[in-house]
Amino acid sequence: MAQYMDVHHGMKGITADQLMAAHKADLAVEKGEGVHFERAWADPESGTVYCLSEAPSPEAVQRVHELAGHRADEVHPVPYSI
Amino acid sequence: MAQYMDVHHGMKGITADQLMAAHKADLAVEKGEGVHFERAWADPESGTVYCLSEAPSPEAVQRVHELAGHRADEVHPVPYSI
């Protein structure tokens, strides 16, 4: 398992409710891929969403987001964190 | 106070020790700006670093990073988080 930060662009105007709904959609399907989405942060002005997860691979992170209907634009392994 | 996610590009090959040293440099000067850097994540492959902070403004976040010697490329307010 490793930690990943993925990024979604083009989310201008996203609301707190929409962020929560998207996160719940991830949680509903993540177990099948061995992924856990831990945190998410949204900037509605620039339309950027960051998601922090624990996962076996970047492909598993993307598969969960795809199953939930919101493919990530970037998936970064973040082996170092504080 | 609000939450911010800032992003540094061009950090290819960053090590765990360098990430910790950069974070400590932020912590050493953050009080003067009323900022607190909470977390940081590094992807040495793409050279991307993400920093999560509580701060009174995006300018305050940037001033701390400048004082610490590592200006951020992006500073995003993240009013919504999970």
B66 domain-assigned: yes
Domain count within chain B = 1
Which domain range does residue A31 map to?
Answer: 2-77
pLDDT tier for residue B5 given thresholds of 50, 70 and 90: very high
Percent of chain A with pLDDT strictly greater than 70: 100
Average pLDDT over residues B49-77: 98
Q: Which two tokens stand for residue A33?
A: 């891929």
Least CB–CB distance from B16: residue in A16, A43, A80: A80
pLDDT band at B28 (very low <50, low <70, confident <90, very high): very high
Spell out which residues of chain A touch residue B39, defining contact as CB-CB under 8 Å: 81-82
Residue B20 lies in a domain: yes
Among B19, B76, B81, the residue with its CB nearest the CB of A39 is B81
Q: In this structure, is residue B82 part of a structural domain?
A: no
- The pair phi, psi for residue B24, each rounded to 5°, is -65, -35
* Averaged pLDDT for residues B40-49: 98
CATH number at residue B37: 3.30.70.3090
Which tens digit of pLDDT belongs to each residue from A65-77? 999 999 999 999 9
Question: Measured between alpha carbons, how far is residue A23 from residues A56, B3, B51 in Å?
Answer: 19, 19, 21
Q: pLDDT by residue (tens digit) across A26-50?
A: 999 999 999 999 999 999 999 999 9
Confidence of residue A82 (pLDDT cuts 50, 70, 90): very high
Q: Could you please report the per-residue DSSP string of A10-27?
A: --TT--HHHHHHHHHHHH
For B45, the 3-state DSSP assignment is coil
pLDDT number for residue A25? 98
Amino acid at B75: V
Write down the ipTM of this complex: 0.93
